Structure formats: C-alpha cells, structure tokens
Chains A and B, each alone.
Chain A
Amino acid sequence: MSSEPEAPHPRRPTPSGAEPATTDELDRLWADPRGLRGQLTGVQNDKIGTRLLLTGFFFALLGGSFDSLAMRLQLAVPQNTLIGPELYNQLFTNHGSVTMFLVILPIFEGFAILLLPPLLGTREMPFPRLGALAYWTFLLGGLLYYSSTLFQLVPDAGWFAYTPLSGPEFSPGLAIDFWVLGLGVAEVGAIAAAVEIIIGVLKMRAPGMTLSRMPLFAWAVLVMAFMILFAFTTLIVGSLLLELDRGFGTQFFDPQHGGSSLLWQHLFWIFGHPEVYIQFIPAVGVMAMIVPVFVRHRPVGYTWFVASLVAVGFLSFALWAHHMFTVGLPPLVLSFFAAASMAISIPAGVQVFSWLATIWAGRPVWKTPFLFFVGFLIIFVIGGITGVMVASVPFDLQAHDSYFVVGHLHYVLIGGVVFPIFAGVYYWFPKFTGRMLDERLGKWNFWLLFVGVNVAFFPMHQVGLMGMPRRVYTYDEGLGWGIHNLISTIGVLIIAPGIAVFVWNVWRSYRRGEKAGNNPWGADSLEWALPSPPAQHGWSVLPIIRTRHPLWDQDDLHRGDGPVERFVHGISQWPLKWRAAVIVGTADARPREVFRVAGPSIWPLVTALGIVLIFLSELVKLRWGAMVGALIIVGGVIAWNWPKPPPMSEEDEDAFEREYGVPVNAHGSVVVARWGTGLVILFVGTAFAALLLSYFYLRLENPQWPPPGVGDPPMAFALLSAALLAASAGAVLFAERRIGQGDRRGLLGGLVAALILGVTGTSVQWFDLTRLGLAWRAHAYGSIFYTLAGFVIVVAAAAIIMLTMTIFWTTRGAYSARRHAPLANVERFWRAMVIVWIIGFGTLYLGPYLT
C-alpha cells in the first residue's frame, strides 16, 4: 500500500522539466547525424526503440495476421481444399515462430528502450551501441528467417521444432536451418537488448529514484531482461546442438547413437516456458503504469506487486517440465509438477487483485487505454483459469495437443500480451509523436478486437474437448466440429478489421491528430513532464525524485537537498562537449559517477553483419564464411571499443568532483563496464550450464559411458593445461594489482606472462583433444565431448583476444594507476574463463570415472 492514502489531484498542473538556455546545445550534442549516415550509425534510444517497435509490428502484420487469416479460412468448413497440408504446416510453424520470436519480444524491448530514459529521468541507455546492435541483429535475423519464403524452404516442424521431426533424418532440406539460424540471429539481438535494459534500469535513474520509487514498468522490464538473458541463452545452446546435428552429423538428438530426442524438449522448454512470461511480464508492467493513471489512484500493494513479478520469473524457470506431462513420468512425480504449476497462479492473482483494489479505490476514466486494460483483465483471467485446468495432470492428458490448448494459449497471449501492447500504444503515442490517437476509432478498435477474440477463440475450447487435435489442416464432416470452426473463423474475420482500424488510426493521427500537451492523461510518471515529443537528450536538467509518483506529489522536479540540486544543475550546464550521463547507486539512487555515453558508430552494424555472416555461411554450407564472419566480429568489437582520448584532463575531473562530490570518468564508465562484464560472464555461465546439463543428460541416456570401444580419457595433458590456465589467472591478478600501485612494468610483465601461460595451456589442451580422436559423428559421447570442449576453447579464445588487446594498449601507455578500469574487467573475465575451463574439462575428463 502506498504510504500516502489520499488521491492525487489530477487537475493540478503537473510540473515539467526545466528548459535552461543550454537545452539547444544539449540537443545538438545528443542528436544522431542526419541523413543515411545517421540512419546507419544512429544509436539514440528514441530511434532504436521506435525501430524495434515498428519492425515488430511489421512482422506482426506479416506473420501474425496473414497466417492466421489463411489458416482460419482453411479450417472454416470441413474438407476444405483452400490450403494443402504442406502449406498449412508451414503456416502454423511460421505463425508461432514469428509471434514468439519476432513480434512480441522486439515490441516490448522497443517499449523499454524507448521509454526507460524519459521514464527513469536519465538521458540515455547505458550502451547505446549495444542497443543498435540489438536492433540490427534482430532485423537481419528476421529477414534471414523470412527469406526462406523466397526459396520455398519454409520451416514446417512447428514453433517448437521437436526432434526427431526437425532432425536431419525427417527434415532433410534447408527449411529447419532457416528456422534455427534466422531466429538464432534474432535471439542474439534479444540478449544484447536485455543486457542494455538490465543496466539501464539498475544503474541509470534520476537521483532519488530509489528502488521503492521505481515505476512498475521498469521493474517489469528488468525481470523480463533477466529472463531473456537466462532463457534465450539456453535456447541458443539448444539451437546450436540442433544445427550441429543437422549440419555436421553429430548425434545429440538421435537415440540410436546415444542421443536423446527428449534433450531437445528440455532445452527448448527451459527457454519456452519462461518465454511465455517474458512476454507477459512486460505487458503487466505496461498495465501497471496505465491503471493508476486512469483510475486516479495510486497502485495498491506496490511492493507485493514487484515481488509477484519476480516470483513469476523465478517460478517460470523451474516449471518447464509441465509442458512434458505426456512424456511418460510416473504419476507421483507429475502431481508435484501439477501442484507447482498451479502455484504460479498465486503471483498472477496478486497482480490481478492489486489492480482490482486500485480500481475499487479509484474512479475509472473510460478512455481507450483503460478499455484495453479491462479487456486484458477479462480475457487473461479466462486464459489463466484454463491454464490452471491444463496444469492438472489428468485433464492435460486429455487436452494435450488439442484445440483446447490452442484456445488457452491464445487467450493468455492475446489477452495477456496483445491487449497491453495496444493499450501501451494508445497511452504513449502522444508522448512520442505529439499527437493523440483518435478516441472514437480507438473504441472501434477495442470492441472489434474484444468481440472478435472471444468469438474466435472461445469455441476452440469446446472443439478441443470434443477431440479436435491442433495442427490438422482439415477435418471430416461427420465429427461435428464444423460449426465451432466456422464461428472461430468468423471471429478472426472480426479481428481483422479491428487491426485495420488500428493501423488507420495510427496513420491518420500521426499526420493530423489532435495535438497533445506534455501530460494529456494527467499521469504520474516522469516521462510526462517532458515535452511531446521529447528532445533528443530527454532531460536537460535531471529530475530529483522524492516520491513514487513525482508528477502527482512534487511541485518542482528539480528541487532537492542542496548538494544534489547543485549537482543536477551543474550537470545541465557542464560538460557540453561530450555526452555526460549519471550513474546512481542501485538501491539508494545517489549519484555515483558521471561518465561518457558512447556516440553514433557504424561498428554495431558491422558486427551484426559479421554475426549474420556466420549464420548465413552455415546455412549455405560455405563454412569458410564463418571464419570471415568471426574476424569481422572481432574487428568490429575492437573498433567499437577503441578508446577515445579522454575529453577531460584528470585535473578537470578532480575539480568537478571537488565541487559536486561526484566523480567523473570522462574516458568511460567504471560502473557500467563492470556491470557489462558481469552480465557477459552471466551469459557465458548460462550457456555453459546448459551445455553441462546436456552432457549429464546424455550421460544418463547411456548406461555405458563412454560407449563401448572408447576408453576413458587420459588425464595428464588436461591436468597440465588446467594448471597452466590457473597460473595465468594468478598472473593477470598480479598485473592488475601492480597497476593499482602505478607499476607499469609489472603490469606488462604480468599480462605477457598470463598470455604465454594461457596460450600454452590452450595449445596443450588442443593437442590433447586432437590426440584423443573421438568419433564425434559416431556417438553422442564424442559429439558432446567436442562441443563442450569447443565451447570452453571459444571462451578462452575470446579471453585471449581481450588480453592481447589489453597488452597492446598497455604498450601504448593507455593505463595509469588512476585509469585502468578495463584491466579489472579483463581480470574478471579471465578468472571466469579459467573457472569455466576447470569445470568444463573437469567434467569431461572426470565424468566417466565419477558417474
């Protein structure tokens, strides 16, 4: 419960951000270059966010609407011949894959990147170039995936591409490769954006915006981003294994050679179950922003709401097994999963009741965003109830793979995700275009969608219970399913004009909609204090937050305690030569650091092209292309992070710090870089964990491990290389300590020693791997052995490249006792690499003995 019970005063003029004389200059400083160059190098969060949103909507129209319309027309009457079985398979595969990977995810990441800086009271996201990379990879991945239609090689194995159907034996063409590789590129983009969002929410907020004052949307996208980081990484590992099976003849998913087709299901659903909530949680965040504004009341139960978001995140990762009720587990085990699956309705219930209580306490204003909220609540609750039904095992055994599940998931995803997206667009459109969306068209839009969705998807429950399986392209006349399917098709035909109204509304209003002021809805959150649309740099003078609802409770956004106020005004007038942004403490939101945000750059695009090239060369089986791609990535990343000469001298930095009490790191942030390194390590660790899980899973599938005829791996060389690597970690640590004391020679010596040790250790291991000569095509043992070893060696290679670059910069005299933050990060990554090395090769070499 919020601490101030009284309702806000919506009629009071809301405060707005100050616009000092320096505003224009700041705007120029933060703007991207004009013209084509600006389009290719631009990194502005507005630009990236809008692009993600628009591209997401583009794919939605392509994959979401067109496919579903075609499928429903085919199913409208029994024995229809409009679409053949092959095309139907391709349509439902495409529909599922596109909506899950290319629509909802980028739309919410777009919302987050677009909104977070104005919402949190800061000028940019922490890694603008990473945001650009996220967009380019997403776009190129999506196009790569969709290019399959040009070659008539459309994937047709369903959106979860179960093996063995998606394996080399039953899907020999390139269609599934398009699925794996195209979406793989897009997944890389999703992870990049997630890293950006995590650091943005936790470290870049207005002074005073403590965790307890953070808008719920920020909490939601924070949870979403962490979930993306964990879930998508697992999927990338799964896709890697699948592609190895398809392209290189490994045996991960082939039971005849020691593989396991269930392993794919595990890896997929470890991703797939959280994926549902990755889509749902940001939608909840959008709704949680809209409800208080339209009922004129503070959200009830803020802390518990946040806890429920995190709880959903936690639970969703533990429960993937309930997608596998029908794989043959004993009932005793299933009952545990059923109980735990129902547990997820507790946090969902907390959210729903929090909203109900908020509405109860307030007085609703029935504008379009609120209508969409009500529609969301109704449809989502129905979907949630059918979800609890499916969570009960005996019921699921009946309903599994039937249209009941189709009805359930569309209720959840359309109610829980699509309606919030519409609500969010109606709500924030005025902020970013300066014009209101038309209210009358909005109501049409809502009612058409609401009625259409219920008409289309409610009968599916019924026909599913009558036995209609999903993914059939047609059905017989005598089964009595005709009427339900006809009604469903009519429902989709009602939805289609609803979407058309929306598109028309956006198009019309963008051109000549009613002008919106700063705060047309009388909202409480920070972004509404800025002009609509906001300037490039967002905030000229950073706001100082004292409550959870600053626009309702604060008369002035820039007044605070003396030092903070002075700091905030100081940063608005100075420095005007470089893009300065503020890092705050995670919990207490006190200013911790002023740092330079990266500017426009072509290298994210180049790096994205390198990534695509790797995947593309695998697709067309020109494997040397992958090497070129890898070189492009390495070169791109090095150029991207090429240090610029610091724009301020150390004396100037000191002077600023003496005056304002906040350190300046004009050469680049210490905190953000450390967090970035931490998240990269987390990413590597997650991928590694997924590979280890695969190793042990395959171990379980094989009573004899290693398989007959293969000896246990001898340990001498592995021990030697592990010892060398461990020593190298010590050397890096030594080097980092030395530079802390200003000893550059010690630094260089330590780094070079570490490099020699690391390269020698890796070479020894490499030699041992070639010497072992396991047959990686013959049995899953060899496959996982070399894959896991290869993963560790790739991580080691990345660390070695980092170290080499560090040595290069050391010889150029880049580091001093004061400026050597990158060294600490190299040391962290190196240490993590050595731990991964020891665990990885420890598992490979000791596994056969211990298990």
Chain B
Amino acid sequence: MVGDGAVPGRTADLERPLHGRLPRRRGRMHRRRPGTGRVRPTGAGGRDPGGHRSRRAGVPGNRPVGIPAVARRSAGSPRGPRSRDALLGRQPGLRWIPAVVARIRVRPARRCTCPLPTGLPAMTLAHPGQPPAPHDLWTVWEPDPMLGAGILLAAWVYRSGRSRSRPPADDRRGRCFAGALAVLGIALLSPLETMSSALASAHMVQHLLLVLVAAPLLAFSAPWAAVLRGTPLVVRRSAARWRRRLRLTRGNTRFLRLPGTVWLLHVGTLWFWHAAVPYGAALEHEIVHVLEHASFLITAVLFWTAIIGIRRTGGMSPGVGVLLVFATAMQSVFLSALLTFAQTPWYDGYARTTQPWHLEPLGDQQLAGVIMWIPGGLVYVATGLMLLVTWIQRSEQADLASGPRRRARSSPDASGRFSGGG
C-alpha cells in the first residue's frame, strides 16, 4: 500500500464513493455543505482592526472574485451559513471529502488532467478576512474543498494511471508524488495557510514548502504520464487534440527544458513577487495570490524538472545541475539577505497583523528572510550534493568498454553542440 503511490488511507476514502453510492452521498453533501466552511476565529472581519484589508471583510459575494467557473459551480455556495458556523466555533468535519470527490467524479474531469490546474482555483480561498492569533492556531484549518478535492483527485487519477502502466513504474516516484501532494496539502490547507495572512515568516515557510519541497518532489516523481493515463479516454483525447491544436510538440516546448531559461524564469518569478508592490497585491487580492502561488509552483517544477527530472538523463549533465543549484542558492541567499538586513518592513499588509504573535513587522520579516536563508539554503546544499554524488557514482559505472565514442562527424556542428559531459 505504501509503495503504490497514493496517500495510504486516503485512497480508501477516495474509492468508496465511486462505486455506486453516489446519490446518497450527494444528498448528504447538500445537507452538510455549510459545515465545510472555514472557521473564522475572529468573526466575519467586520472587526478588522486595521481596516486596510476590509476588502475581504464582507465575505458574502466577495469570494467568487478569483474563482473560475468550475470552482464556483462545485464549491460556491451562499456564504452566510459559513460565517455563522464560524461564529459558533464549529469544527469543520472531514466528511466533505468523499462527497466532493463524488461530485467531481460525476462531471468527468475535463479540466482536471493533472493536479495543478485542479488545485489552483481552490487556492483562491487563501487568506480570509482576519489575521489569526496564536491561541487559535490549531483551529484555523483551511478545509478548502476545491483544493482538497483536487489533491485527492490527483492522487486517485495517478494511482489508477500507475496501475495501468507497463512496466510498473518505480515505487520511489510514487512515494515522491504522494509526498508532494501531502506537502501541497500542508502548505495550502493547514493552519499555515491562515497564519500566512498574518505573518510574513509563515508565508515564507509556505512558499518554501511549495518551491523547495513540493516542486522538487513533483519534478522527481514526473507524474504527468501516469496522471494522463489515469484519466478517462475522453480527457486524453481532448488533451491530445489541444496539444495538436496549440502545436505543443517536444521541439516547440524545448525552451522550457533549457536549464538557463527555466532558471531565469524561476528566479525572475521569485524576485518579482518579493517586490513590495506585487507582494502587497497578492495579500490584497485573492486572484493575485493564486497567481503568485501558481507561478511559484509552476516555475519551480520546471526548474527542478530540468535538474532532477526523469528526462534529464539524455540532456543536461548533473554537473551543470550542481552549478545551477548553487546559482539558485545564491540568489535565494541574496534575496534573504535583503529581507534580513532591511531597516524597514517592506510589506504594508503585515503592518498590524504580527503583534498577536509577539513580533514586530520588521522582526517578522527578518525571520522570514533568515528562514529562506538557512533552512531554505540547506535544501539547495543537500540537492547539490545529491546530484554530485550521483554524478560521481554514475561516472564510475561508465567504463571504457565502448572505447572512444563513434560519432558521425563531430563538426563544430551547426549549434557547436557536442553532447558535452555525460
């Protein structure tokens, strides 16, 4: 069970609604839906002390702002009861999980061919009205139905896709994918998500989880083929059709696998979002916040795919990977040095939210910087060393057996490109 990819325990939940008990579940879901709301520790936001984020305060009608149509159809509901629930301090149950899965299953997941797009719309629900305080840390879960459903759906699709693959895929990759989904869940559904509306440091932890843990795991597990295989034929056909229509051949998208390009994309994204104006916009508008997380995750997955992805074998040398990881570590260190040594806080959004945590906004920001600096940096060091050791060990296996490589003509060929170091 552990080895076969999906999150153990959850898979059972996942499969049950798929075998014929849908109507009842659906009914239950309708009844229970109010309970799926987020718990709002301090009420509906009317008491927002600063008032600077009062845009989010009036909850009803505000939420759909960033929610694409699909999300609104499946999760959108009158918000009133939710806030009432929250006021009453009701704990969100977990019973919504099978229900939501069932619901999505009914409508074949046309837009859900991979975990990313499914997960993303649900992130619109991040950062509700009021900053949480330490005492209710463990009650402020973000049981975001769309995101949770997306993650579970991804797990299920992946699992069924893997079971169809011949030869059976590597167990490690399945475990990595499960880990990636779990980390995504932790980053986006746990109290961390709520805290990140109050603390820059929590927000930083969240981003690091996305960029440094979930993304490399996703890149390493390379789940795309299995996920595609797990979807219904209709989806696969339409995916292929779209691919043809958009002319997304391997050649066309080659630039997305070039190490330099993906590095620039990833680093550019990181720096852009840390500038005060975009960051403030992300705190302010849910849709921008979704965009922020999505661009972090997507560029990070592209970056890590170029370095530790499965298909790298024919292309880039792990040595270049070590260098790129180093370059990434350095830009991360530079950025965190700026955060740490800043004399004034950068982000107005946190001006009045950090005090319950006994942190000044500046101290909070310095903590964020140093979290990115040291624990974040250690991830890079570990990855770099892992690449290096693999590189050395693999070169040990390369023997002289085949002699000097025969090649047609190693011309300083058109691109001047030799298959540089293996």
Chain A contacts to B: CB under 8 angstroms: 202-203, 207-208, 210-213, 226, 230, 262, 266, 303, 306-307, 310-311, 314-315, 317-318, 321, 329-330, 332-333, 336-337, 339-340, 343, 544, 546, 560-564, 567, 585-593, 654, 657, 660-663, 665, 670-671, 674, 689, 692-693, 696-697, 700-701, 703, 736-737, 739-741, 817-821, 823-825, 835, 839, 849-851
User: In the docked arrangement, what's the CA distance between A693 and B388, Å?
Assistant: 28
Chain B contacts to A: CB under 8 angstroms: 264, 268, 272, 275-278, 317, 319, 322-323, 326, 329-331, 333-334, 337-338, 340-344, 346, 363, 366-367, 369-371, 373-374, 377-378, 380-381, 384-385, 388-389, 391-396, 398, 400-407, 409-418, 420-422
Known contacts A211-B395, A340-B377: A670-B412 contact under CB 8 Å: yes
Residue numbers in B under 8 Å from A654 (CB-CB): 409
A310 touches B422 (CB 8 A): no
User: In the docked arrangement, what's the CA distance between A332 and B400, Å?
Assistant: 54
Residue numbers in B under 8 Å from A693 (CB-CB): 334, 337-338
B410 touches A592 (CB 8 A): yes
Known contacts A210-B396, A701-B343: A593-B410 contact under CB 8 Å: yes
5 cross-chain CB contacts under 8 A: A211-B396, A318-B377, A329-B340, A588-B422, A820-B412
Besides the known contacts A211-B392, A670-B416, 18 further A-B residue pairs in the complex with CB atoms under 8 A apart: A210-B395, A310-B388, A317-B329, A317-B333, A336-B373, A343-B378, A561-B403, A564-B404, A587-B394, A590-B403, A657-B409, A671-B420, A674-B416, A737-B414, A740-B415, A741-B414, A821-B416, A839-B268
In the complex formed, the residue of A with least CB distance to B333 is A318
User: In the docked arrangement, what's the CA distance between A588 and B401, Å?
Assistant: 11
B412 touches A665 (CB 8 A): yes
B405 touches A311 (CB 8 A): no
B409 touches A663 (CB 8 A): yes
B366 touches A329 (CB 8 A): yes
B404 touches A311 (CB 8 A): no
Known contacts A262-B341, A339-B374, A661-B406: A824-B400 contact under CB 8 Å: no
In the complex formed, the residue of B with least CB distance to A665 is B412
In the complex formed, the residue of A with least CB distance to B278 is A850
B413 touches A740 (CB 8 A): yes
Known contacts A207-B400, A835-B264: A850-B276 contact under CB 8 Å: yes
B398 touches A210 (CB 8 A): yes
A587 touches B395 (CB 8 A): yes
In the complex formed, the residue of B with least CB distance to A849 is B277
3 nearest A-B residue pairs (beta carbon): A586-B421, A740-B414, A824-B416
Residue numbers in B under 8 Å from A586 (CB-CB): 317, 319, 420-422
In the complex formed, the residue of A with least CB distance to B377 is A318
B410 to chain A, nearest CB (A): 4
Residue numbers in A under 8 Å from B400 (CB-CB): 207-208, 544, 546, 560-561, 564, 590
Interface SS of chain B? helix
B373 to chain A, nearest CB (A): 7
User: In the docked arrangement, what's the CA distance between A48 and B370, Å?
Assistant: 44
Residue numbers in A under 8 Å from B391 (CB-CB): 211, 587
A310, A821, A835 pick with most chain B CB within 10 angstroms: A310
A703 touches B331 (CB 8 A): no
B388 touches A700 (CB 8 A): no
B384 touches A310 (CB 8 A): yes
Contact among B340, B392, B414, B417 for A212, CB-based, below 8 A: B392
User: In the docked arrangement, what's the CA distance between A355 and B279, Å?
Assistant: 50
Interface SS of chain A? helix
Residue numbers in A under 8 Å from B381 (CB-CB): 311, 314-315, 318
A303 touches B277 (CB 8 A): no
| In the complex, number of A-B residue pairs with CB atoms less than 8 Å apart | 204
Residue numbers in B under 8 Å from A564 (CB-CB): 400, 403-404
In the complex formed, the residue of B with least CB distance to A565 is B403
A332 touches B366 (CB 8 A): yes
Residue numbers in B under 8 Å from A660 (CB-CB): 404
A592 touches B405 (CB 8 A): yes
B392 touches A306 (CB 8 A): yes
Residue numbers in A under 8 Å from B333 (CB-CB): 317-318
In the complex formed, the residue of A with least CB distance to B318 is A587
Residue numbers in B under 8 Å from A820 (CB-CB): 412, 416
B398 touches A850 (CB 8 A): no
User: In the docked arrangement, what's the CA distance between A593 and B402, Å?
Assistant: 16
B316 to chain A, nearest CB (A): 12
B275, B395, B411, B412 pick with most chain A CB within 10 angstroms: B412
Known contacts A587-B317, A700-B341: A314-B380 contact under CB 8 Å: yes
B422 touches A850 (CB 8 A): no
B342, B363, B392, B400 pick with most chain A CB within 10 angstroms: B400
Known contacts A587-B317, A689-B334: A333-B366 contact under CB 8 Å: yes
B333, B344, B346, B401 pick with most chain A CB within 10 angstroms: B333
A590 touches B415 (CB 8 A): no
B285 to chain A, nearest CB (A): 16
B418 touches A670 (CB 8 A): yes
B317, B319, B381, B416 pick with most chain A CB within 10 angstroms: B416
A306 touches B388 (CB 8 A): yes
Contact among A311, A592, A701, A835 for B418, CB-based, below 8 A: A592
A697 touches B370 (CB 8 A): no
B47 to chain A, nearest CB (A): 30
Residue numbers in A under 8 Å from B277 (CB-CB): 849-851
In the complex formed, the residue of B with least CB distance to A210 is B395
Residue numbers in B under 8 Å from A340 (CB-CB): 374, 377-378
A777 to chain B, nearest CB (A): 24
User: In the docked arrangement, what's the CA distance between A590 and B420, Å?
Assistant: 11
B128 to chain A, nearest CB (A): 27
A588 touches B404 (CB 8 A): no
A333 touches B367 (CB 8 A): yes
User: In the docked arrangement, what's the CA distance between A669 and B65, Å?
Assistant: 59
B418 touches A661 (CB 8 A): no
Residue numbers in B under 8 Å from A318 (CB-CB): 329-330, 333, 373-374, 377, 381
Known contacts A336-B374, A697-B341: A212-B405 contact under CB 8 Å: no
User: In the docked arrangement, what's the CA distance between A41 and B370, Å?
Assistant: 51
Known contacts A210-B395, A318-B377: A585-B422 contact under CB 8 Å: yes
User: In the docked arrangement, what's the CA distance between A181 and B89, Å?
Assistant: 69
In the complex formed, the residue of A with least CB distance to B331 is A689
Contact among A333, A590, A739, A835 for B370, CB-based, below 8 A: A333
A330 touches B363 (CB 8 A): yes
User: In the docked arrangement, what's the CA distance between A737 and B416, Å?
Assistant: 11
A700 to chain B, nearest CB (A): 5
User: In the docked arrangement, what's the CA distance between A340 and B380, Å?
Assistant: 13
B263 to chain A, nearest CB (A): 10
Residue numbers in A under 8 Å from B276 (CB-CB): 850-851
In the complex formed, the residue of B with least CB distance to A828 is B416
A336 touches B370 (CB 8 A): yes
User: In the docked arrangement, what's the CA distance between A562 and B374, Å?
Assistant: 51
User: In the docked arrangement, what's the CA distance between A635 and B311, Å?
Assistant: 45
A825 touches B416 (CB 8 A): yes
User: In the docked arrangement, what's the CA distance between A467 and B87, Å?
Assistant: 61
A50 to chain B, nearest CB (A): 30
User: In the docked arrangement, what's the CA distance between A546 and B413, Å?
Assistant: 31
User: In the docked arrangement, what's the CA distance between A389 and B18, Å?
Assistant: 61
User: In the docked arrangement, what's the CA distance between A400 and B413, Å?
Assistant: 58
User: In the docked arrangement, what's the CA distance between A331 and B203, Å?
Assistant: 21
User: In the docked arrangement, what's the CA distance between A446 and B220, Å?
Assistant: 52
Residue numbers in A under 8 Å from B374 (CB-CB): 318, 336-337, 339-340
User: In the docked arrangement, what's the CA distance between A210 and B396, Å?
Assistant: 7
A234 to chain B, nearest CB (A): 10
Known contacts A306-B388, A585-B421, A689-B331: A561-B401 contact under CB 8 Å: yes
B421 touches A818 (CB 8 A): no
B318 to chain A, nearest CB (A): 8
A203, A591, A692, A693 pick with most chain B CB within 10 angstroms: A693
B306 to chain A, nearest CB (A): 16
Residue numbers in A under 8 Å from B420 (CB-CB): 585-586, 671, 674
Residue numbers in A under 8 Å from B421 (CB-CB): 202-203, 585-588
Contact among B317, B331, B412 for A819, CB-based, below 8 A: B412
